[in-house]
Amino acid sequence: MRVLIAPDCYGDSLTAVEAAESIAAGWCQARPSDELTLAPQSDGGPGFVGVLASRLGDIHHTRVSGPLTDAVDAEWVYDAATSTAYIECAQACGLTVLGSAPTPDTAVAAHSRGVGQLVGAALDAGAHRIVVGLGGSSCSDGGRGLIEALGGLAAAKEKMTGVELIAATDVEHPLLGPRGAARVFGPQKGADPATVEMLEQRMTAWAAELDTLAGHPISPLPGAGAAGGLGAALLAVGGRRESGAAVIAEFTGLADDIAAAEVIVTGEGRFDDQSLHGKVVSALAGGALARGIPVLVLAGQVTLAPPELAAAGITAAHAIADYAGSVQVAMDDAANQLTGLARRTAADLGGIHRINSGIAPGQGTVDEVG
């Protein structure tokens, strides 16, 4: 059987590359004769650069400002053949490089200056196309730090003249309002209710400056609220939004891999409603649905109900937390637990055979665990 293994990252526990290797190890233990294709994916968040580097290998290291006071070493990828730079905002301002657990104070202080420095490094390298993966940030500054690192509003826009700038993101949230950056993502970055309101007011004032720069309203645009509003800053200086999952899928030739597969195995840290809207799992399921290819999800936790899974074309979803016995064990021993879950999943493929025998896509047995 030809099996495509194409997971996203699992939060802070496993990169997409590590997850693919863990799934493959377990699968081989149960079904050593299967033909495996490893194609780790990303939706623009943490692991974006790692996935690209696994294919390109041309990694650059740049010392930039971290989200608070300390500098960090950030990786980015430059493809000289196409003059394209791939940047991951989480490398410079991610929660993982915050240095401590997020608090209301860090939610206010965290900035995106390092991301602007990475964009500057890409320009210095001769990039004519810059793709910025957005996700997993600790900041809620609306991209002000990025703009300041590029010399200010007017200078940033001038530097982007003639450069194809892409904000690669899995979210469609606007900058402001009940679905905006502060109210939706602020609490994940340590903001309490009072801090959320302060961040909303700060971004509202900043949005007016971005609107003036762009010559049209920026804050309502899909993706403007991505990565604490970094999306808005990129859009204001001439960028456009694209699905991060689609960017990776195109670069890695995912469509061809899907067409050749008989089974697809994917996963992420938390498989919930957001997973079905522009993230890696939804992109894979969409490509597999028309071909009737079974899609198995191995996630840290699963919160979706069976009808939701079936409607999305997901054959089965299994939670590492259930396999491990607790969320804590699943996180602390992620690689081994994912390997074990993959081994068990590969050993029991009854539902897969029923789908391959002619049941319509999305109507096969769905085993929701979590």
Q: Verify that 202 and 121 share a domain, yes or no.
A: yes
Q: Verify that 137 and 235 share a domain, yes or no.
A: yes
Q: Which of 220, 245, 270 is the last residue of a domain?
A: 245
Confidence grade of residue 287 (pLDDT, cut at 50, 70, 90): confident
> Can you list the alpha helix ranges (DSSP code H) found in the chain?
16-30, 48-56, 89-93, 104-109, 113-124, 144-149, 153-159, 193-214, 226-236, 244-252, 254-260, 280-289, 306-311, 320-324, 327-332, 334-347, 350-356
pLDDT at 322 over 70: yes
Q: In CATH, what number is assigned to the domain containing residue 31?
A: 3.40.50.10350
Strand partners, 94: 137
Q: Which amino acid is at 103?
A: T
Q: What would the pLDDT profile of 136-157 be if each residue is shown by its tens digit?
A: 999 999 999 999 999 999 999 9
d(CA 186, CA 294): 36
For residue 50, the model assigns a pLDDT of 87
For residue 353, the model assigns a pLDDT of 43
Domain that holds residue 298: 2-39+253-368
Q: Verify that 91 and 112 share a domain, yes or no.
A: yes
Work out how many domains the chain is built from and give that number.
Answer: 2
Q: Verify that 201 and 311 share a domain, yes or no.
A: no
Model confidence, pTM: 0.83
For residue 53, the model assigns a pLDDT of 85
Q: Verify that 258 and 316 share a domain, yes or no.
A: yes
Q: Verify that 219 and 285 share a domain, yes or no.
A: no
User: How many distinct helices (H) and strands (E) make up the chain?
Assistant: 17, 14
pLDDT at 358 over 50: no
Confidence grade of residue 221 (pLDDT, cut at 50, 70, 90): very high
Confidence grade of residue 352 (pLDDT, cut at 50, 70, 90): low
Q: Which of 218, 245, 272 is the last residue of a domain?
A: 245
For residue 298, the model assigns a pLDDT of 96
d(CA 23, CA 25): 5
Q: What would the pLDDT profile of 63-118 be if each residue is shown by its tens digit?
A: 999 999 899 999 999 999 899 999 999 999 999 899 899 999 999 999 999 999 99
Q: Verify that 266 and 239 share a domain, yes or no.
A: no
Q: Verify that 103 and 153 share a domain, yes or no.
A: yes
Q: Verify that 231 and 269 share a domain, yes or no.
A: no
Q: In CATH, what number is assigned to the domain containing residue 180?
A: 3.90.1510.10
Q: Verify that 241 and 352 share a domain, yes or no.
A: no
Which among 37, 43, 48, 44 has a CA at the least distance from the CA of 5? 37
Q: Verify that 106 and 74 share a domain, yes or no.
A: yes
For residue 360, the model assigns a pLDDT of 33
d(CA 141, CA 269): 26
Which among 240, 254, 234, 370 has a CA at the least distance from the CA of 302? 370
Q: Record the tokens describing residue 29, joined without a space.
A: 């233990």
d(CA 188, CA 244): 21
- Mean pLDDT is lowest, of 11-25, 155-169, 229-243, for 11-25
* pLDDT (average), residues 175-202: 97
